[in-house]
Structure formats: structure tokens, C-alpha cells
């Protein structure tokens, strides 16, 4: 006969790990994170709090390890690789396109030496690529959304435009001096790696791998439900019409974003190696990924 003093086993709820997830308020990132942000998918034991900030702010906060998962520029990776490891999905690559140098004048690309050039942040890959192309520019740090205006007003001689500005600069009357993604391809036969997503090294391997899987599923969901994901992303497109927003998202959310692949990883390492060899990056590093 069972003892009347035996207590019923207490139900134990699974522990939920709450993580901060930070990315840029841009249409391509919004498209990528759509399924996670709108809770189309998730994990029972992981919860995300989303934070939206411009990429240079994210780079600087990553130096202090502010967020658990964050977008970064690859330029910033050597400065924070002791705190973070790359996720194998979510990167932006430019296949023969990338940040564009624009000016009012009809220059050729050899005219940049000594010129005042607005760049969207000290740790952006756009600035690293510009330095690799022409180390002797007078760089003027300028918020990315003010660069076209600074060039138009003559505050600077030229500017490096990123995000939607790569598609809209011609509407302002400015002229292309150089596409840094095309130049990089001519030098390396590789796509230009611009930014990726990283996760804290201090998190356990299960959490790292689960987050990696969720990010990949989120990208896949948007690619498979393109119309609804684009509709969500367009609110972050800073005035682009639907067709141009779709074009911009296609540039930076594609097969490269699902998985770097060997060529993508080679491109990242080539960028880091060249940056170190030219004395721009502080140390030689090998890119590491959650596997």
C-alpha cells in the first residue's frame, strides 16, 4: 500500500535564457530578422529582446560586450574577437558591388588622394575598404544618413555611401567615383564582406548553436515568404518605394546570408589579412564561427 506521505513530483518549468539581439534599423536586417521579431518562430528555452541601432553604434557597443547577439562590421572583428564569435549565417556580402564613393565633380578614382572624404564610421567596413584602396584620404567621420547632404553642400570633397544610399545617390545629382565592391572583386575575385552577426563567447555551446539555427531559419522564412517579409521590412527602408526596397534587400539577403560557404569565409579572411598587412588593423586574426 502506498504511503500517504509520498508527495506528488513538482513540475519543473524549463529555464528560459533571455538574450539581447541587436541589429541595424535597415530594410535588409529587418527582412532577415522578420520571423524572430514577429515571433513566427522561436525556441522554448530562448527569448530575444531586440535592439535597433546604427552599425557604428553597434560596433562600439560590441567593444564593451553590451549585447549577447549583435550585428557588426567585419572591420570591427579584430577588436572584439576575444568577446564574440561569428554566427555562420546573417552576413552581408557585395558580389561586385558595395559602398560607393560619390562626389559632385567628375573625378576618376585616382583623384581621391588627399581629398576630404566623409565615411560612415571609424569601424565600418566601408572605411576599411576605402583605406585599402587609398590610404591617403582625409577621412571625415559622418553619420551615414548625412553623407549625401555633406557632399552635396560641399562640406567634404566626396563621401562613402552605404545602405540605401548606394541606390539613391544618383537621384541627388551626385556622381559615382568608385564602387568599392567592384574594386575589391577586381583585386581578389571575391565578394566584399561587409557585416556579420556575432554571439558572446561566454554563452554555452548549446545556446550558441541554438541561436545560430534560429537565425538561419529566420532568413529562410523570409526568403520563402518574401512578400510578407518585404512588407514588414519596407517600414525600415527610409522612403524607398517597394521596387527599390526589394532590390536593396536582394543585394544583401541571399544565399551568402544563409551560409558564408568556403568562398565567403575566404573573403572574410582575405579582408582581415589585407587590413593587417596594410597596418590598418591592430593584429592578425583568424575568423572563428559557431559550428
Q: Name the residues annotated as catalytic.
A: 163
User: Using CA atoms, how far apart are residues 194 and 191, in angstroms rounded to an integer?
Assistant: 9
Q: How many CA atoms lie within 13 A of 6 on its CB side?
A: 4
Phi-psi region of 124 (alpha: psi -120 to 50; beta: other; left: phi over 0): beta
Which of 160, 149, 165 minimizes the C-alpha distance to 237?
A: 165
User: Using CA atoms, how far apart are residues 237 and 217, in angstroms rounded to an integer?
Assistant: 23
- Cβ atoms within 10 A of the Cβ of 285, count? 17
Instruction: For CA atoms 176, 180, 186, 192, give the dihedral sign.
Output: negative
Grid coordinates 572583386 are at which residue?
A: 185
Largest CA distance in the chain: 96
In angstroms, the first-to-last Cα distance of the chain is: 53
In sequence order, what are the beta bridge partners of 160? 101
Which of 189, 55, 63 minimizes the C-alpha distance to 127?
A: 55
User: Using CA atoms, how far apart are residues 50 and 25, in angstroms rounded to an integer?
Assistant: 11
Amino acid at each position: 500500500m502506498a504511503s500517504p506521505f509520498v508527495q506528488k513530483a513538482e513540475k519543473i518549468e524549463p529555464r528560459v535564457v533571455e538574450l539581447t539581439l541587436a541589429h541595424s534599423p535597415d530594410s535588409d536586417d529587418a527582412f532577415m530578422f522578420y520571423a524572430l521579431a514577429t515571433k513566427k518562430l522561436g525556441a522554448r528555452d530562448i527569448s530575444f529582446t531586440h535592439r535597433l541601432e546604427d552599425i557604428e553604434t553597434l560596433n562600439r557597443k560590441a567593444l564593451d560586450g553590451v549585447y549577447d547577439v549583435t550585428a557588426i562590421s567585419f572591420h570591427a572583428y579584430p577588436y572584439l574577437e576575444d568577446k564574440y564569435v561569428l554566427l555562420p549565417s546573417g552576413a552581408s556580402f557585395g558580389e561586385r558591388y558595395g559602398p560607393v564613393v560619390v562626389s559632385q565633380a567628375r573625378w576618376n578614382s585616382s583623384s581621391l588622394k588627399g581629398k576630404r572624404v566623409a565615411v560612415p564610421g571609424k569601424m565600418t567596413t566601408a572605411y576599411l575598404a576605402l583605406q585599402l584602396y587609398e590610404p591617403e584620404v582625409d577621412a571625415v567621420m559622418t553619420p551615414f544618413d548625412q553623407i549625401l547632404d555633406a557632399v552635396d553642400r560641399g562640406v567634404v570633397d566626396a563621401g562613402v555611401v552605404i545602405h540605401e544610399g548606394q541606390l539613391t545617390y544618383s537621384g541627388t545629382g551626385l556622381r559615382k567615383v568608385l564602387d568599392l565592391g567592384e574594386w575589391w572583386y577586381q583585386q581578389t575575385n571575391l565578394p566584399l564582406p561587409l557585416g556579420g552577426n556575432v554571439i558572446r563567447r561566454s554563452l554555452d555551446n548549446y545556446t550558441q548553436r541554438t541561436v545560430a539555427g534560429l537565425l538561419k531559419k529566420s532568413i529562410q522564412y523570409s526568403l520563402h515568404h518574401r512578400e510578407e517579409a518585404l512588407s514588414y521590412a519596407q517600414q525600415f527602408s527610409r522612403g524607398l518605394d517597394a521596387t527599390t526596397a526589394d532590390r536593396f534587400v536582394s543585394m544583401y539577403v541571399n544565399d551568402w546570408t544563409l551560409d558564408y560557404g568556403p568562398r565567403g569565409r575566404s573573403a572574410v579572411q582575405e579582408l582581415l589579412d589585407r587590413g593587417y598587412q596594410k597596418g590598418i588593423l591592430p593584429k592578425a586574426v583568424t575568423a572563428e564561427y559557431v559550428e
